[in-house]
Structure 1
């Protein structure tokens, strides 16, 4: 019976111990090897004093050790907390202190970043994966893999126990820890496996780091069905040509990433000439994909099923839209319908259901939902809409903060964030609509609209655009493109061409950082 996340690798090892579980940089671990190494790590963690419910940090890049770390931590009943080694030290220090991480799992390749982090004297009491760390007890990976497996005390747990914490900065910049249980993590991959008939023959390509929820399809979904997860290396993520070769060389059948990774592959021509006949599914999530890129994908991958997956990290994935074919126009691609074991509401500002066709906030009730925010009771309370049924039971819906519209056939369309809808010059303006229309311009690769304080009590809309490589467009061209579709009050006061955008650790546009950069350029 699989009710805890580590049960997935145990079951797969029982079915076929020689099946490759994870591959990375040409090396691999079978399911039997993964179970053994996870149990050896669990033994070392137990000797360090780690017990059920303790939080253990993972300070690793993309590697086979990352898979061992996840399942080793879970095997001893602890909670894994992924950290981004490239994030500012202050941010990682906050995470360590906020959730009381005493043990870090890392690798010698992260030594420089780790020593800088430890220089702030956090409450860390031990290091696993690296030797000779001054002032800290440390055990390196060769010692871990020489440890006797399964000598730790396997704790009794239930599926609603906390399994992992993913920190996100959100719109405020203050990190918040999203708490997911074994049940919610399993519910997500079970939904996906049932809908798309994943099996042991599949090879899941993973581009995302583990501090981004998109990674969980590979780390949990592949083991659930006994498939192989192929982890792109950190080098792959900065070299589109090598990432493109990975598709053919590893015969990937499933790909799931943010749109940025897909657009980079397309713009670099990195998929051209590759043997992509094995690719059954291509999923994307995190941000909208411009219809023209979806058309390119559909033409390049005529036998591949392409789908837009939607859902904030708090819900995992909650709606799915399988593209029926290449988009015929530049209208934004729908986010689809909720999948199995999921209920949704669309409500107005007074939490009243809206009529079909009207805009409202999307609320989600599902087994994939988070438990709440770590150590933030008030924020967790505000995150839920609670409905008491006639019989007295309580139903909790997560408030996504996203505005959607249901069309006549029941398909949902994403309209933007509630906090992206602003009031300018007395009129309401949807910033996401400006971005979506700019993406219909053939020269535009990415676009972001934000507001800045121009003078006391006055907001201005400011837009930043990245042009496609080799394409040319002037600021005036883009302003005219917007003016043809929007009323005067919705047009930006300033538009800037940029070579890049600041980004979060999950490769989304870091809007607060961009807002700060543009505020310095806008005349007062």
Structure 2
């Protein structure tokens, strides 16, 4: 019976043991090999003291071992917690402590960072994937893991048990851990497999790192149907021209990424000569796709289907829109589309009443793919869920997306913006308040305001203004921010203002700041 995420690997190992499950760079692993390696890792973790429901960290960038780590943790009956190795040390420390992580899976490429983590965290009892000299902690290399027996733990794991926790940005600098179960993860895999007609002969391109929710298409859906996932390396991601060649060389059939990755490949100058004839479906999400670039890409790939994908991390995905043709040049936006199966929505106004057709309100979602809640944060969980009682007395729980939507007379959904100040930068979600909170931690900053502006009609960047500092402080402030925020959250430019514009109530008028920035940038 197939009710846990790692069952997909075991099933495919029986059906097609020699078929490639994942490829990355010059490396590959078949379903048969992955089934063995994940059980060996599960054995290592269990012998290292793991108990059912423990959280195990994964601290590595894009590489083949991420698949072994994910499925080994799941097979052990534990919960995987991906950690971005490029985060500031303070944020890494918070995630490790918040989840009570005692076992950490990594790679030799992270040696120096792991040694510092070991020195700061005495509670981590086992490191997997690396050797540590002069350490009292257990540490095994990947070669040593491969010598262990392939054995699953004896305890039962249920579909409602937690499978993974993905951390998203928090408004006060405290990230939120989105908890997903085997049930919600597998429901997402089944729905995406059906909506995008995925097949065993498909080759999926995985652009996203494992701490980004759109990576689950390659890690969960592809194994469900027995397809192959090609993991783009960090080198490919940094060089769009090489990414173009990777898609051609690997004969990828399905691609899923943020629009920026596609725009960068479009502008690389090599797409026109690359052979993408095998590609049949392009999925994009995380942020709007600039119309002029979308038109150009669709015109260049007339044989491909294109889909606009929407869904916060808390629901995996919940809507899609299959573009019938390139949008007209004068189009202002693309519909978010329709709700997929096993999902129900409400669009409510500020008084939690339904809006009329065409009016704007907050989107609320109830779905099989919905999260259980936020890890170690019951107050935020309660705020994010809404209990709706129907006329028959039945009460159902919905997730408040915070996104503003309208629905037209044809039933298509249109995204109208954010209810709060949460934004997406290059596909990563963060709240502008987090940037301001970091700025205000700098001693001389009296006030701070952050906003988003679009550069070259393509890329969104963060800009900020501060009061109370001098021009010579800016370099120091930038260095300070890099200890507090991930790279994508660092303001592109920091303005010093003697006074901020104000609203009638005395608050900082951030809309006026955005308008001022647009004027001086024109």
TM-aligned CA deviation for residue 387 of structure 1: 1.6
Higher relative contact order (CA 8 A, sep 6+): 2
Alpha carbons of structure 1 residues 461 and 141: separation in structure 2 relative to 1, 3 Å: closer
Aligned to 2:510: none
Aligned to 2:520: none
Alignment partner of 2:420: what SS?
A: helix
Alignment partner of 1:272: what SS?
A: helix
User: Matches of 1:384 and 1:112 in 2, distance apart?
Assistant: 41
Aligned to 2:506: none
Task: Please give the TM-score of this superposition, normalised by the length of structure 2.
Answer: 0.83
Where structure 1 has 5 or more consecutive residues not aligned to the other structure, the ranges are 422-430, 436-447, 470-501
User: Matches of 1:317 and 1:203 in 2, distance apart?
Assistant: 21
TM-aligned CA deviation for residue 391 of structure 1: 5.2
Do structure 1's residue 16 and structure 2's residue 16 form an aligned pair?
yes
User: Matches of 2:94 and 2:109 in 1, distance apart?
Assistant: 22
Alpha-carbon displacement from aligned partner over 1:277-319 (angstroms, at most 9, x marks no partner):
1111111111111111110110111011111100110010111
Do structure 1's residue 514 and structure 2's residue 491 form an aligned pair?
yes
Contact kept, 8 Å, 2:335 with 2:414, in 1: the verdict is yes
User: Matches of 1:449 and 1:34 in 2, distance apart?
Assistant: 41
Q: How does 1:97-112 map to 2 (within 5 A)?
A: 97-112=97-112
User: Matches of 1:148 and 1:119 in 2, distance apart?
Assistant: 31
Contact kept, 8 Å, 1:243 with 1:270, in 2: the verdict is no
Aligned to 1:428: none
Which segment drifts farther, 11-20 or 372-381? Answer: 11-20
Alignment partner of 2:62: what SS?
A: coil
Aligned to 2:367: 366
TM-aligned CA deviation for residue 462 of structure 1: 5.9
Q: How does 1:257-276 map to 2 (within 5 A)?
A: 257-276=257-276
Aligned to 1:388: 389
Aligned to 2:337: 336
Alignment partner of 1:344: what SS?
A: strand
Alpha carbons of structure 1 residues 407 and 508: separation in structure 2 relative to 1, 3 Å: farther
Contact kept, 8 Å, 1:12 with 1:226, in 2: the verdict is yes
Alignment partner of 2:14: what SS?
A: helix
Aligned to 1:282: 282
Do structure 1's residue 414 and structure 2's residue 415 form an aligned pair?
yes
Alpha carbons of structure 1 residues 254 and 462: separation in structure 2 relative to 1, 3 Å: closer
User: Matches of 1:416 and 1:181 in 2, distance apart?
Assistant: 29
Alpha-carbon displacement from aligned partner over 1:250-284 (angstroms, at most 9, x marks no partner):
00001001112111111223422111111111111
Aligned to 1:174: 174
Q: How does 1:159-238 map to 2 (within 5 A)?
A: 159-238=159-238
User: Matches of 2:111 and 2:366 in 1, distance apart?
Assistant: 42
User: Matches of 1:85 and 1:460 in 2, distance apart?
Assistant: 28
Aligned to 2:403: 402
How many residue pairs get matched?
464
Contact kept, 8 Å, 2:171 with 2:432, in 1: the verdict is no
Alignment partner of 2:324: what SS?
A: coil
Contact kept, 8 Å, 1:305 with 1:322, in 2: the verdict is yes
Output the aligned Cα RMSD: 3.0
User: Matches of 2:396 and 2:289 in 1, distance apart?
Assistant: 33
Alpha carbons of structure 1 residues 270 and 180: separation in structure 2 relative to 1, 3 Å: farther
Alignment partner of 2:313: what SS?
A: coil
Q: How does 1:464-475 map to 2 (within 5 A)?
A: 464-467=453-456
Aligned to 1:481: none
User: Matches of 1:522 and 1:297 in 2, distance apart?
Assistant: 45
Alpha-carbon displacement from aligned partner over 1:158-199 (angstroms, at most 9, x marks no partner):
111100000111444311100000111111111111112111
User: Matches of 1:462 and 1:375 in 2, distance apart?
Assistant: 29
Alpha-carbon displacement from aligned partner over 1:368-400 (angstroms, at most 9, x marks no partner):
000000010110001111023455543111000
TM-aligned CA deviation for residue 122 of structure 1: 4.8
Q: How does 1:110-189 map to 2 (within 5 A)?
A: 110-133=110-133, 134-150=135-151, 152-189=152-189
Contact kept, 8 Å, 1:321 with 1:334, in 2: the verdict is yes
Alpha carbons of structure 1 residues 209 and 461: separation in structure 2 relative to 1, 3 Å: closer
Alignment partner of 1:244: what SS?
A: helix
Alignment partner of 1:335: what SS?
A: coil
TM-aligned CA deviation for residue 155 of structure 1: 2.3
Where structure 2 has 5 or more consecutive residues not aligned to the other structure, the ranges are 426-430, 440-445, 459-480, 501-522
Alignment partner of 1:119: what SS?
A: helix
Alpha-carbon displacement from aligned partner over 1:460-482 (angstroms, at most 9, x marks no partner):
8966443379xxxxxxxxxxxxx
Alpha carbons of structure 1 residues 114 and 339: separation in structure 2 relative to 1, 3 Å: same
Task: Please give the TM-score of this superposition, normalised by the length of structure 1.
Answer: 0.83
Contact kept, 8 Å, 2:115 with 2:132, in 1: the verdict is no
User: Matches of 2:242 and 2:455 in 1, distance apart?
Assistant: 23
TM-aligned CA deviation for residue 118 of structure 1: 2.5
Alpha-carbon displacement from aligned partner over 1:79-112 (angstroms, at most 9, x marks no partner):
0000011111110110010010000001111101
Alignment partner of 2:221: what SS?
A: helix
User: Matches of 1:415 and 1:390 in 2, distance apart?
Assistant: 29
Which segment drifts farther, 117-126 or 11-20? Answer: 117-126
